[in-house]
Amino acid sequence: MEVILKEDVNKLGHRGDVVKVADGYGRNYLLPEKLAIEATAANKAVIEQMKASAVRKSAKEKASAETLASELNAVELVFERKVGENDHLFGSVTSGDIAQELEAKGFTVDRRKISLEEPLKQLGEYHVPVKLHREVTSHVKVTVKGEATDEAAA
């Protein structure tokens, strides 16, 4: 099945591309989620208009992403977690936790844009990449500290 992408889809293509996908993937995911339209003769005529508007939209998104990236580079997040032996955390710091903390500081970032390979399970300082746009990536400084407990004070 051939479809025209209306939005960027990871590992498939960018907005305006005509791609060949499995019938089930197209019918059950791309079309209902409005990520793509069927590549018919009439729709192919619309592609040129879509591409022109996509270029304008992408330029606008990139400009706003660059502004947000410059602001995010200055942000430092600190998480306190309970710690076991060898500074191993009980639980971890996930991309969802980072997104929540950014939200509390006034930045709206989708957790899926936070490129955390695996949750942070050790104390320390990390620079976590945040992919704001296909060409714009920012880094947020994340510090994971041990929680002060009553036993440590005793």
Which is more confidently placed, 29 or 14? 29
Express each pLDDT in 95-136 by its tens digit: 889 999 999 888 888 888 888 888 888 888 999 898 888 888
pTM score over 0.75: no
Q: Please state the three-class secondary structure of the chain as a single string.
A: CEEEECCCECCCECCCCEEECCHHHHHHHHCCCCCEEECCHHHHHHHHHHHHHHHHHHHHHHHHHHHHHHHHCCCEEEEEECECHHHEEEEEECHHHHHHHHHHCCCCCCHHHECCCCCEEECEEEEEEEEEECCEEEEEEEEEEECCCHHHHC
Domains and CATH numbers, the chain: 2-62 (3.40.5.10), 73-153 (3.10.430.100)
Report the pLDDT value the prediction gives residue 151, as an integer from 0 to 100: 52
Express each pLDDT in 16-73 by its tens digit: 788 999 999 999 999 999 899 998 888 877 777 767 787 888 888 888 888 888 888 8
